[in-house]
Amino acid sequence: MYVGITGYMGSGKGELAKILMKRGFKYISLSDIVREEASKRKKPHSRENLQNIGNNLREKYGSGILGKRIREKIEKSAGGKNNWVIDGIRNPAEVEELSRLQDFHLIGIFASKETMLKRLLFRGRSTEKKSSKKEIERALNREFGEGEPASGQQISACIDTADFVIRNEGALLELKQKLNHFFGLLNGTDRPTFDEVFMELAYVWSKRSTCLRRHVGAVVAKDKQQLTAGYNGAPKGIPHCAELGGCLREKLHVPSGTRHELCRGTHAEQNAITQAAKFGISIEGATMYCNASPCVICTKMIINAGIKKLVFDSEYNDPLAKEILGQQAVVELIRYEGRRFHKKHGFTPAANSCKEPCCSRG
């Protein structure tokens, strides 16, 4: 078995790798390739130097080069027959290369930015001992993709392709329990959590979407029961965009996350809420599960509908929605963790093409 780890610095990748090593996994990291290159170039192994050299290698040899070289190393090592934990995955093309290994599983690990920054300031790793808070924040922002090319640090996109995601805000014991659940699901000894069940249902509902850009599904649940569901597409009885010659937003070159009124479709969250109104179902105090975070219009509807918790899988870049969600205290916003279902149902979350359904909206 091959377990890949992707996540931001300070998210707990190292601790996760140590737990796997105690379970008998051999350790290897894509960063090893970068450090070897840094030594060849006689460059200090600082965080910034390593990030720059990694980007340079991807730009020169292709975005998946680090994953390719690590895969080849593993395959040459005793035929790759051992269990391996592969750390330092930072670009979706690296995931694609490593996915060629039979029985490869990718775990994405994340924490709040505040938690990660606190860990980085106190852990005292050699690459960070002399770094100021601003320097660490700048390095962390690069890992979030700020100012990075497509061939650079794209960890958020890697997490969106993960088979299993872990929210690491607690103690080491909690992290071990979450990893045990991952293995329990693989070997059939664990049942999925209710969060996993309802998020899978959201993905299933999204397969009904008629949107040409993004397929999104939403489920509203309460007391461990599904109440309503929705998916994005044209209103009932209205021609779908495909029947009218294409996507209006594409034709008008509307950037993602803006001008939501310029769309023939109704979002999944809106449909789930209006279905409740249509059938007289109370959703006050319920939880909404969606495979993407909401736009600003959906955000306002979710708050006013009395929904108390929103569990979302992938980030949707709508600045005003994020601002409003940050200002309110009505809805608890939770990034989903657990087994991912996009691969099971044929989703490609990192893709921007409308040829295949994916996990984010346009």
Structure token digits, residue 23: 């379970």
Classify residue 41 by burial, with Cβ atoms within 10 Å: 0-12, 13-18, 19+: exposed
| HSE, side-chain direction, 13 A CA sphere, residue 72 | 7
Q: How far is CA 220 from CA 102, 249, 283, 338, 362, in A?
A: 37, 28, 7, 18, 22
Contact 324, 233 (CB under 8 A): no
DSSP state of 354: S
First to last CA, the chain: 36
Structure token digits, residue 80: 């790759």
């909401």: which residue's tokens? 294
Phi/psi for 219 (5° steps) reads: -130, 135
């051992």: which residue's tokens? 82
Q: Which of 97, 128, 148, 269 is catalytic?
A: 269
Contact 294, 329 (CB under 8 A): no
Sheet strands side by side (includes 332-335): 225-231, 217-222, 287-292, 309-314, 332-335
Catalytic, 269? Answer yes
Work out the widest C-alpha separation in the chain, in whole angstroms. 69
Which residues have a catalytic role annotated? 269
